[in-house]
Amino acid sequence: MNVGRPLLAFGILVASSGALSFLHPWGNLRAVPRNDAIMGGANVPTNVRLILQNKCADCHSNNTHWPSYSRFAPGSWLMEHDVHDAREHLNFSTWSQIDADARIDLLAKIATQSRKGEMPIKQYVWIHPSARLTDDERRLLSTWARTERNRLRNETPQR
């Protein structure tokens, strides 16, 4: 049996993965400065903030923890794509920069998606089972988001 060909193929695969890992089709998300103060300007109780930090912020903030396996293409591209999409929809690190009407809409989505169990997404929970929201956490998030939405609505001048 010729061991040279499989070894050469493996070497090419590893070298290709290493070289392609320097390409970031959605921008270099790892270069974004961390912002540990998530949800700036929002009224977030400590228990809700802990849920957001521990179960949501990995994708929905600039505080993503990038595990070592996320550094090699093409897996890195899949993870970067998911984080890019998540931050495009909602980035807790930039909450204070979002206008009030958009925050009201986002809070409605947080309430609905947490109540329905749509977040975190299934493929993330498969790899990170500790990110799965319990029924109590879903209810807590949903209730908080509705309350915060109502608070913002009352503070926002009508147009």
What is the tens place of the pLDDT at every residue in 22-81? 555 656 666 677 776 888 888 999 999 999 999 999 999 999 888 877 777 777 778 888
What is the tens place of the pLDDT at every residue in 116-146? 999 998 888 898 899 999 999 999 999 999 9
Report the candidate in 38, 14, 21, 28 with the shortest Cα–Cα distance to residue 98. Answer: 38
What tokens were used for 142?
A: 């949903």
Q: Is 0.75 topped by the overall pTM?
A: yes
